[in-house]
Amino acid sequence: MMEQAQFDKPLKIDTRPLWLIVVDRTARYQVIAGFLILLLVLFRLAPPAGLSAAGYHALVLFGATIFLWVSGLLPIAVTALLSMVMLPLLGIMDAKKTYSLFGNEAVFFILGAFILAAAMTGTGLSARLARAMLARFGKTPTRLALTVFLLSAFLSFVMSEHAVAAMMFPVVAEIAAALRLEKGTSRYGQLLFMAIAWGCIIGGIATFLGGARAPLAAGMLRENTGLTFGFLEWTTASCMIVLPLLVIGFLLLVRFFPPDLENVDEGLKFLNRKRLETGKIGYDELITAAVMIVTIGCWIIFGEKAGLAAIAVLGTAVLFTFRVVSWQKIEEYVNWGIILMYGGSIALASALEKTGAALWLVKKGLGVFSHSPLAAIAVISLVSILLTECISHAAVVAILMPIGMGLATSIGMDPKVMTLSIALPAGLAYCLPMGTPATAIAYASGYLRSRDIIISGVVIMTISWVLFLGSVVFVWPLLGLNI
């Protein structure tokens, strides 16, 4: 019967000439071949005046890496590792130095952070917390949406924003189903899912734990300058932007997506029923909660002295000691691609700095801003916030940090300010589903159109950039971060 149904389907015959079919089917390989030929030509050219051969080759390799990241011809992690391998092969940096950079503290910090977040998700602690908070504070439609928004933001303080969005999605989908919200027509459904996205995005820049970009930027800063960020120092600087955005963001959400129902009683009944089914908090959840609280406290108090990575690894060791997590479970949650990307990105950035390529590039491309540090910050932060709509946040940091460090050196700016000016805007992608998984997850709900996301996203992105510049000028100098 199934075979008959297959034969009943009309066959689609490609009537184009054979050569055109071959060209169409091999387009990707043609682009790769042309790309490799161009690279061979560029590597054989003499370096420009004022740039060493090693610096020129590092610059060509940097450009090739950017092309591969943006085009997606290869996975981001593979591209980063490939650029790392090419450094000693092209004589840009010796092999021992290159591969030692894979042991950067940032790599082990983010690995520990991934494992801690995996424990929260795997034990059910984060979902339990979400349901409890929503049932406790979401008594009206507006209050329920506000709770979703703030809970997504605050969870993104201690977990990857991607993990928070993935965890909050089924919880909010359950509420939407209980309230019988119609996809495509319910404004309240749009509000709930956009609250997840914006909450995760805004909260994700608050600490080192919200995403990969912050530890990567801090690792590059340390490798190039020897300067470090403390956990509390980074959080204090970022919260000058995050806290106003939490207020402004929700007001904008209610403005763009006004609630169109009178009560959420059915949703609350469903949440309470789920909480009863889940039962009392378990042993694994209690251990995970205690480890998270102690680990964050140690980051704040002892982070400068002991190192963020050491504390993160010790926290994960406790989880394994009490058998809260298993390595098999961790492998499902940890984004190994991001970790692999770190080594290659830090090595490439170090090569650009050591060979003088980054400084040469800045003088040629951004020398016009050397007289005005504020103009330089405005430009590079704007590039960061726009570029992150198209490619990975971590890739944006990897691309802009070498340029930013060179620019900071040329104009005598505090490298810490430049690091924040790249890493914080790199996390504020609101407009396109490809910009961040949080937005993509909200779009996948079926309640939102691209137009809904883009129009509101442009407004909040503009406000975010203005708030960032205001913090740079008026607030950061009070924290000792002077431009």
Is this model's pTM higher than 0.85 or not? no
What is the distance between the alpha carbons of residues 139 and 83, in angstroms, rounded to a whole number? 53
pLDDT computed for residue 11 by the predictor: 61
Burial of residue 401 (number of CB atoms within 10 Å: 0-12, 13-18, 19+): buried
For the stretch 446-472, pLDDT in tens is: 888 888 888 999 999 999 999 999 999
pLDDT computed for residue 280 by the predictor: 86
pLDDT computed for residue 434 by the predictor: 64
Residue type, 115: I
Residue with tokens 């370096």: 47
pLDDT computed for residue 395 by the predictor: 78
What is the distance between the alpha carbons of residues 451 and 271, in angstroms, rounded to a whole number? 31
pLDDT computed for residue 10 by the predictor: 60
pLDDT computed for residue 459 by the predictor: 94
pLDDT computed for residue 50 by the predictor: 83
pLDDT computed for residue 464 by the predictor: 95
For the stretch 213-229, pLDDT in tens is: 888 898 889 888 888 88
Cα torsion through 164, 166, 171, 176, rounded to 10 = 120
Cβ(343)–Cβ(87) below 8 Å? no
Question: In the 3-class helix/strand/coil scheme, how is the chain assigned residue by residue?
Answer: CHHHHHHHCCCCCCCCCHHHHHHHHCHHHHHHHHHHHHHHHHHHCCCCCCCCHHHHHHHHHHHHHHHHHHHCCCCHHHHHHHHHHHHHHCCCCCHHHHHHHHHCHHHHHHHHHHHHHHHHHHCCHHHHHHHHHHHHHCCCHHHHHHHHHHHHHHHHHHCCHHHHHHHHHHHHHHHHHHCCCCCCCCHHHHHHHHHHHHHHHHHHCCCCCCCCHHHHHHHHHHHHHCCCCCHHHHHHHHHHHHHHHHHHHHHHHHHHCCCCCCCCHHHHHHHHHHHHHHCCCCHHHHHHHHHHHHHHHHHHHHHHHHCHHHHHHHHHHHHHHCCCCCHHHHHHHCCHHHHHHHHHHHHHHHHHHHCCHHHHHHHHHCHHHCCCHHHHHHHHHHHHHHHCCCCCHHHHHHHHHHHHHHHHHHHCCCHHHHHHHHHCHHHCCCCCCCCCHHHHHHHHCCCCCHHHHHHHHHHHHHHHHHHHHHHHHHHHHHHCCCC
pLDDT computed for residue 14 by the predictor: 63
Please identify every stretch of the chain with a pLDDT value under 50, giving residue numbers as ranges: 1-2
Residues whose CB falls within 8 Å of the CB of residue 436, separated by 6 or more in sequence, listed in order: 161, 162, 197, 200, 201, 388, 393, 427, 429
Domain ranges of the chain: 102-479
Cβ(131)–Cβ(271) below 8 Å? yes
pLDDT computed for residue 192 by the predictor: 92
What is the distance between the alpha carbons of residues 71 and 48, in angstroms, rounded to a whole number? 27
pLDDT computed for residue 354 by the predictor: 84
